[in-house]
C-alpha cells in the first residue's frame, strides 16, 4: 500500500467561483481584477465567449502565496450592456456552466447570438435554460432534442418574474439572476432545495425563507461597480486529494486555502460522520467566502457511505463520483438515491460509475436516480481498462483509486482531467512518499 504525505498549495482555483467572477466582471462598470483565476479548460471557455462577445480582458502571471505564481485576469467593462454582436458562434467547448450561465446575460443583449459546444455538451439538456428566459421575453431556440446549439435573440426589455426552480441547479439559478439584473423591476428566484450560493454571495443578493423554501431577490437595472475577486482552491478538487489520503493508510496531507462554503464542502461532513480523520485549520472569510486548510490524517477505517437526502445530494453533486469510488474501495459498499441529476453531467455518471466498478469486480445495482454497491465478488488480475466517458471526474476518481491502492488501471482519455485539474498527476507524484 502506498503512503502519501505533504502540503498541497497548488490546488486548482475554484471552477464555480472563477466562472462567476468573470461573468460578474463583464457586467460591472470599471476594471475588475480577479486573482488566482483557474487555468482549466472550462474557465478558459468562459473567458473565450466573453471576448467573442466584445469584452476586453487579459490574463497575466503574478506572484502568489507559498512562492508560486498565480493567474490574474483583468476585465474592462462599461456595465450591463457592454457586449457587441458576436461575429461567429460562441464556442463553450465542454463547459455546461459557461453555456448555461452566459445564456442569461445574452438574453438581455439586443442582438442575436449562438452558443455551441463540443460533442459532449451538445447532448446535455438545455430546456431548463430556455424556459425561464422565454418567460422573461427573450427568444431562445434549441435543437429538436432540447439541446444546444442555442440560438438567442435577446432584448433590452426583459421582464422580471417570480421563478420556482423545477430542479435544484446553481447554474439555472445563476442564469436567471444574471438575466434579472437587466430587467425592469424585481425578480424572485425560489428554490425548494438549496444549491451552491456563490452567485448570491458575490452579487450581494438578499434572500429569505418562506414556507420552507428559499427566496432570492434580484433587483433589476441596479448598476454593478467593479471590485476585486480572489479565487480560493476548489473544494471539488480537494475531494480527490482527501480521498487519496483516506484510501492510503498512514497518509497525512495538508491542503491549503480551500473554499469551505457550506454549499460546497458538505462532503467533508459526510466523511467525518463516517469516521474519516479530517480536521479544519486556519478558517477565515475572504470576499464573503469561508476559506481554510484541510488536514487529512488516515489512522482509521471509514464506514460505508449511504447518501439519500435530496438536499445533501444537491450540494455534493460534483463530489459524488469520488465519494462513490472511495466508499467502494475502502468498504466494499456504497448507496446513493435522489441523484438523477448525475445522469445529465459531462457523462451519465451513474452509468459510468457502475460500468467501471463492475469491471473491477464490484457487485452493483443501478436505478434511475442512483445505485448501490454490494461488495466485491472478485479482484481482477492484470490491468483493467476503465472508460472515462470523456468525463474529468470519472477519470480522476479511478486514477485516485489506482494510485492509492496500487490496482493496475488503464484509463481511457486520461488527459480530460485538464478540464478542471491541469496539474492533477504532477500533484499526485509530489505527494507520494
Question: So what's the pLDDT on residue 318?
Answer: 95
CA 126 to chain centre: 17
Q: What is the mean pLDDT of residues 329-348?
A: 95
First to last CA, the chain: 11
Please name the residue that has the C-alpha cell 450561465. Answer: 101
Predicted confidence band of residue 374 (pLDDT cuts 50, 70, 90): very high
CA distances from 270 to 104, 267, 325 (A): 33, 5, 14
Closest CA to 66 of 301, 233, 273, 223: 233
Q: Is the pLDDT of residue 420 over 90?
A: no
- The more confidently predicted of residues 346 and 76 is 76
> CA–CA separation, 192 vs 398, rounded Å?
33
Rg (CA), the chain: 21
Cα atoms in the 13 Å half-sphere on the side-chain side of 315: 22
Concerning whether 318 is annotated as a catalytic residue, the answer is yes
pTM of the model: 0.90
Evaluate whether 394 touches 323 at the Cβ level (below 8 Å): no
Nearest 5°: phi and psi at 300? -150, 165
Evaluate whether 36 touches 71 at the Cβ level (below 8 Å): yes
Closest CA to 243 of 274, 281, 282: 274
> CA–CA separation, 304 vs 329, rounded Å?
10
Q: Three-state SS for 166?
A: coil
The pLDDT > 70 percentage for the chain reads 100
Q: Is the pLDDT of residue 259 over 70?
A: yes
CA 433 to chain centre: 30
> CA–CA separation, 392 vs 71, rounded Å?
22
Q: Is the pLDDT of residue 175 over 90?
A: yes
Question: So what's the pLDDT on residue 287?
Answer: 82
From 234, 318, 390, 391, the catalytic residue:
318
Closest CA to 105 of 36, 145, 55: 55
Question: So what's the pLDDT on residue 257?
Answer: 95
**Superfamily of segment(s) 15-230:** Enolpyruvate transferase domain (3.65.10.10)
Tens digits of per-residue pLDDT, 195-244?
Answer: 999 999 999 999 999 999 999 999 999 999 999 999 999 999 999 999 99
Question: So what's the pLDDT on residue 136?
Answer: 98
Tens digits of per-residue pLDDT, 78-104?
Answer: 999 999 999 999 999 999 999 999 999
Question: Three-state SS string across 186-253, please?
Answer: EEEEEECCCCCCHHHHHHCCEEEEECCEEEEEEECCCCEECCCEECCECHHHHHHHHHHHHHCCCCEE
Q: Three-state SS for 405?
A: helix
Evaluate whether 250 touches 258 at the Cβ level (below 8 Å): no
Cell of 230: 480572489
Closest CA to 189 of 224, 213, 159: 213
Question: So what's the pLDDT on residue 320?
Answer: 98
- Tell me which of 79-83, 192-196, 255-259 is least confident: 192-196
Q: What is the mean pLDDT of residues 277-283?
A: 96
Q: Is the pLDDT of residue 1 over 70?
A: no
> CA–CA separation, 61 vs 54, rounded Å?
23
Question: So what's the pLDDT on residue 433?
Answer: 62
Task: In the chain, list all ranges with CATH 3.65.10.10.
Answer: 15-230, 232-431
Q: What is the CATH class of 232-431? A: alpha beta
Instruction: Quote the mean pLDDT of the chain.
Output: 95
Q: Is the sign of the CA dihedral 409, 415, 419, 422 positive or negative? A: positive
Amino acid at each position: 500500500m502506498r503512503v502519501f504525505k505533504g502540503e498541497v498549495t497548488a490546488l486548482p482555483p475554484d471552477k464555480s467561483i472563477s466562472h462567476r467572477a468573470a461573468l460578474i466582471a463583464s457586467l460591472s462598470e470599471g476594471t475588475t481584477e480577479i486573482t488566482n483565476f483557474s487555468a482549466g479548460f472550462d474557465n478558459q471557455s468562459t473567458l473565450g465567449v466573453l471576448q467573442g462577445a466584445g469584452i476586453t480582458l487579459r490574463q497575466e502571471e503574478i506572484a502568489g502565496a507559498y512562492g508560486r505564481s498565480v493567474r490574474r485576469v483583468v476585465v474592462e467593462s462599461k456595465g450591463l450592456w457592454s457586449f457587441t454582436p458576436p461575429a461567429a458562434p460562441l464556442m463553450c467547448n465542454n463547459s455546461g456552466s459557461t453555456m448555461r450561465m452566459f445564456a442569461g446575460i445574452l438574453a438581455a443583449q439586443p442582438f442575436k447570438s449562438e452558443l455551441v459546444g463540443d460533442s459532449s455538451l451538445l447532448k446535455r439538456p438545455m430546456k431548463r435554460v430556455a424556459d425561464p428566459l422565454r418567460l422573461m421575453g427573450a427568444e431562445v431556440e434549441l435543437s429538436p432534442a432540447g439541446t444546444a446549439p442555442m440560438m438567442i435573440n435577446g432584448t433590452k426589455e426583459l421582464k422580471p418574474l417570480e421563478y420556482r426552480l423545477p430542479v435544484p441547479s446553481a447554474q439555472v439559478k445563476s442564469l436567471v439572476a444574471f438575466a434579472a439584473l437587466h430587467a425592469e423591476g424585481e425578480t424572485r428566484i425560489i428554490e425548494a432545495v438549496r444549491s451552491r450560493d456563490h452567485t448570491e454571495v458575490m452579487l450581494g443578493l438578499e434572500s429569505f425563507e418562506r414556507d420552507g423554501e428559499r427566496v432570492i431577490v434580484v433587483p433589476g437595472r441596479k448598476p454593478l461597480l467593479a471590485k476585486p475577486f480572489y479565487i480560493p482552491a476548489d473544494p471539488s478538487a480537494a475531494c480527490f486529494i482527501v480521498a487519496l489520503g483516506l484510501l492510503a493508510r498512514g497518509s497525512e496531507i495538508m491542503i491549503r486555502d480551500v473554499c469551505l462554503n457550506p454549499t460546497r464542502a458538505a462532503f467533508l461532513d459526510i466523511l467525518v460522520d463516517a469516521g474519516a480523520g479530517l480536521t479544519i485549520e486556519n478558517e477565515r472569510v475572504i470576499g464573503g467566502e469561508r476559506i481554510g486548510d484541510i488536514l487529512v490524517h488516515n489512522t482509521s477505517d471509514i464506514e460505508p457511505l449511504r447518501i439519500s437526502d435530496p438536499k445533501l445530494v444537491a450540494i455534493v453533486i460534483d463530489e459524488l463520483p469520488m465519494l462513490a469510488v472511495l466508499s467502494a474501495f475502502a468498504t466494499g459498499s456504497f448507496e446513493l438515491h435522489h441523484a438523477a441529476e448525475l445522469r445529465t453531467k459531462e457523462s451519465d455518471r451513474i452509468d459510468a460509475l457502475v460500468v467501471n466498478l463492475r469491471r473491477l469486480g464490484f457487485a452493483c445495482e443501478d436505478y434511475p436516480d442512483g445505485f448501490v454497491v454490494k461488495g466485491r465478488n472478485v479482484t481482477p488480475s492484470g490491468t483493467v481498462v476503465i472508460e472515462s466517458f470523456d468525463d474529468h471526474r470519472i477519470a480522476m476518481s479511478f486514477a485516485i483509486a489506482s494510485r492509492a491502492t496500487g490496482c493496475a488501471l488503464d484509463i481511457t482519455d486520461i488527459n480530460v482531467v485538464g478540464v478542471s485539474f491541469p496539474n492533477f498527476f504532477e500533484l499526485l507524484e509530489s505527494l507520494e512518499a
